Chain A
Amino acid sequence: MADDILRLEKVCKAYNIGQSSATEVLHDVDLRLEHGEFLALMGPSGSGKSTLLNIVGLLDRPTSGRLSIKGHDTGALGDAEITHLRGHTIGFVFQYHLLISAFTARENVMMPMLVDRGFPDPEIEKRATNLLLQVGLERFADNLATNMSGGQQQRVAVARALAMNPDLVLADEPTGNLDSKSADSVFELMRQVNRDSGTSFLLVTHNLELARRCDRIIEVIDGRIQA
């Protein structure tokens, strides 16, 4: 139990509560993710995967149930505490890489640390450069995000997700937009990070072949976790 990075108990999520259009997207979801685990989350479109990921990522709140991250019950936390916990514990990799186009690759990686510390000190820059080296993109450190291929951008996004040394990385179909070679390379990168640093990963994917290379596969169908 103490090793759980993430724990969901009876988590439900409904929209438009009290209206005729009320919809429950997640039903009594129970989920555990241990430290260092690499979990694949699969399911058809509209099954509630992204909603679950948003709740786990503290971008959205459950309607009911309990969500604990590193043993902290998030239900009792205010907006500022949630933002702080998210910034320090969770890294995100999105499907459309979503780098900030106004910044270079290095600056994008620096961003989470800059948000946290307020000023861009040399230590931040050094760590960003090291992370780019780790994902094999040190040569592109000063390239604007728009001047890189999709695969390269996604690698930068992985580096950025690792910037705050998070306990958990949430990846929402990170390879969905990449060719098979780039997809494989990005997946291997995440797996390598997982093995080397013990960072837990929750990977949403439609790619069964990649999912099989994860520690565990969970399937979400109609808002419920399938055994």
Chain B
Amino acid sequence: MNRWLPFEWITAVRFLREGRMQTAFIMGGIAVGVGVIVFMSAMLAGLEANFIKRVLTSQPQIQLLAPDQIARPLRHAAGEFEDATVQRPSQRVISIDQWPKIRNQMLAMPEVTAVSPTILGSALAVRGDANRAINLCGVEPDSYFKIVRVPDYIVAGEPRLTSEDVVVGTELAKNLGATVGDKLNIQAASGANRVLTISGLVDLGSKGVNQRTAFVALRTAQSLLGMIGGVTTIDMTVADIYAAEDIARRIEAANAVEADSWIRTNAQFFTAVQAQETSNSLIRIFVALSVAFGIAAVLIVSVIQRSKDIGILRAMGTSRGQILRVFLLQGGLLGFVGSVFGAAMGAAALIYWHSVARQVDGTELFPLMLERKLFIATALLATLTGLLAATAPAVRAAKLDPVVAIRG
């Protein structure tokens, strides 16, 4: 007997050890259940992290834009209009009114981690006989690269953006027959043009985006688009990515801007992530329930099988509380030990699946995320489930009349 273990622990462990077959089967059941939870949770967390990383490092989490321009009807008196119909005005590319003030307000918000003014517009990239329509994106590299990790997506050259540089998408460079160090003539619709040097090629993960994207310095874009001192958008990141939509709504309510969060612009993907989480939670609940019923069933049988032992223990002075604890401990131990095996099984399955499952381009399908907190949470959940499941059998054991128990 281990001298450091109290009576309840010794008895609980011995009872479990003696009913080896029963213990092995229920522990196997718990391990499979916990393994499924660990495998699914870690894989979904990996997939979600992968998706979020891709989405959130290639686009801002909140983007502030100038509000839509609207035509206001002339009125003579209440309810009396000058024109029968009001035509929707064309949306000129205009600067956000008083953007430096708004930027400073955003920087003062505790939830906001980075703010960068940008200017977006259309232009034409010309190289020799080839030309392509491009989305010109003028940025301040220092602040913008904290929001969109352009340096992470550079496949050639470097993310340098002086007033003479341009970073272009890989497909655009291919279409223009250009590479790092080559010159491009960027022409704006207004007729302004600049010759810029390609400093880097960027692959943002989408062919369409790579065909049109061109990053230039903010001042270069302002000059090309004829908007000196102006910006069309303010890009932002926030500390809690899932609070982005709430924050966007608050900003919109307090400022004369339109605020788009990544949740709104990626609504479909976000819904898919939430659906995955919901299904994962449901699976967790049902697995936990089946584990709980399994433990309860085994312990109820154990109480019946051990009624004479319980009677003897009661006769030799064991209190009802001690008997209660012996059976509660068995439930907790089954849950805990089962969860340890289950976590190992789940982790092994995940490592195997991670090595086998690949995307079309051969890269990993999801990052391997085996976080300690997942294992701790699973072990705690399984132990708690075991304790709860053991409550009914334990109470039954504690309430056994020793006379009846000994008689069997």
Binding site for B on A (CB under 8 A): 54, 57, 59-60, 79-80, 83-84, 86-88, 92, 94, 98-103, 107, 110-112, 114-116, 118-122, 125, 160, 164
Binding site for A on B (CB under 8 A): 1-7, 10-11, 14-15, 17-18, 308-309, 311-320, 322, 402-403, 406
Q: Give Cα A102 to B320, complex, Å.
A: 20
CB-CB under 8 A from B2, the residues of chain A are 120
Report whether A118 and B403 are in contact in the complex, using a CB–CB cutoff of 8 Å: no
Report whether B316 and A92 are in contact in the complex, using a CB–CB cutoff of 8 Å: yes
* Among candidates B3, B11, B309, B319, residue contacting A83 with C-beta atoms closer than 8 Å: B319
Report whether A110 and B1 are in contact in the complex, using a CB–CB cutoff of 8 Å: yes
* Among candidates A84, A102, A122, A160, residue contacting B18 with C-beta atoms closer than 8 Å: A102
A65 to chain B, nearest CB (A): 18
Report whether B402 and A59 are in contact in the complex, using a CB–CB cutoff of 8 Å: yes
* Among candidates A60, A115, A118, residue contacting B316 with C-beta atoms closer than 8 Å: A115
Report whether B6 and A119 are in contact in the complex, using a CB–CB cutoff of 8 Å: yes
* Among candidates A59, A88, A119, A125, residue contacting B7 with C-beta atoms closer than 8 Å: A119
Q: Give Cα A118 to B325, complex, Å.
A: 13
Q: Give Cα A39 to B330, complex, Å.
A: 41
CB-CB under 8 A from B15, the residues of chain A are 102
* Among candidates B10, B11, B315, B318, residue contacting A92 with C-beta atoms closer than 8 Å: B315
Report whether B316 and A160 are in contact in the complex, using a CB–CB cutoff of 8 Å: yes
CB-CB under 8 A from A107, the residues of chain B are 1
Given contacts A83-B319, A119-B7, are A111 and B406 in contact (CB under 8 A)?
no
Q: Give Cα A60 to B3, complex, Å.
A: 34
* Among candidates B4, B5, B14, B322, residue contacting A115 with C-beta atoms closer than 8 Å: B322
Task: Tell me the nearest residue of chain A to B13, going by C-beta.
Answer: A102
Task: Tell me the nearest residue of chain A to B3, going by C-beta.
Answer: A120
Task: Tell me the nearest residue of chain B to A57, going by C-beta.
Answer: B315
Q: Give Cα A86 to B312, complex, Å.
A: 12
A149 to chain B, nearest CB (A): 19
Most buried by A among B18, B309, B316: B316
Q: Give Cα A110 to B10, complex, Å.
A: 12
Most buried by B among A80, A98, A102, A103: A102
Report whether B1 and A54 are in contact in the complex, using a CB–CB cutoff of 8 Å: no
| Top 3 closest pairs, chain A to chain B, by CB | A87-B317, A102-B14, A102-B18
Report whether A121 and B313 are in contact in the complex, using a CB–CB cutoff of 8 Å: no
Q: Give Cα A86 to B20, complex, Å.
A: 33
Report whether A79 and B1 are in contact in the complex, using a CB–CB cutoff of 8 Å: no
Given contacts A80-B319, A88-B317, A112-B317, are A121 and B7 in contact (CB under 8 A)?
no
Task: Tell me the nearest residue of chain A to B317, going by C-beta.
Answer: A87
Given contacts A59-B402, A59-B403, A120-B1, are A84 and B317 in contact (CB under 8 A)?
yes
B401 to chain A, nearest CB (A): 8
Q: Give Cα A101 to B15, complex, Å.
A: 9
Task: Tell me the nearest residue of chain A to B14, going by C-beta.
Answer: A102
CB-CB under 8 A from A80, the residues of chain B are 319
CB-CB under 8 A from B403, the residues of chain A are 54, 59-60
* Among candidates B5, B312, B322, residue contacting A100 with C-beta atoms closer than 8 Å: B312
Report whether A115 and B317 are in contact in the complex, using a CB–CB cutoff of 8 Å: yes
* Among candidates B3, B315, B322, B406, residue contacting A121 with C-beta atoms closer than 8 Å: B3
Q: Give Cα A57 to B316, complex, Å.
A: 10
CB-CB under 8 A from A119, the residues of chain B are 3-7
Report whether A114 and B7 are in contact in the complex, using a CB–CB cutoff of 8 Å: yes
CB-CB under 8 A from A79, the residues of chain B are 320
Can you list 9 contacts pairing A with B, beta carbon distance less than 8 Å?
A83-B318, A86-B316, A94-B312, A101-B309, A103-B14, A110-B1, A111-B313, A114-B7, A125-B1
Q: Give Cα A99 to B316, complex, Å.
A: 12
Report whether B317 and A83 are in contact in the complex, using a CB–CB cutoff of 8 Å: yes
Task: Tell me the nearest residue of chain B to A88, going by C-beta.
Answer: B317
Q: Give Cα A114 to B317, complex, Å.
A: 10
A161 to chain B, nearest CB (A): 9
Known: A59-B314, A60-B403. 8 other contacts (CB 8 A): A83-B317, A94-B406, A102-B11, A102-B14, A114-B10, A118-B6, A119-B4, A119-B7
Report whether B315 and A115 are in contact in the complex, using a CB–CB cutoff of 8 Å: no
* Among candidates A98, A103, A160, residue contacting B406 with C-beta atoms closer than 8 Å: A98
Q: Give Cα A87 to B314, complex, Å.
A: 9
Report whether B7 and A118 are in contact in the complex, using a CB–CB cutoff of 8 Å: yes
Q: Give Cα A98 to B317, complex, Å.
A: 15
CB-CB under 8 A from B322, the residues of chain A are 115
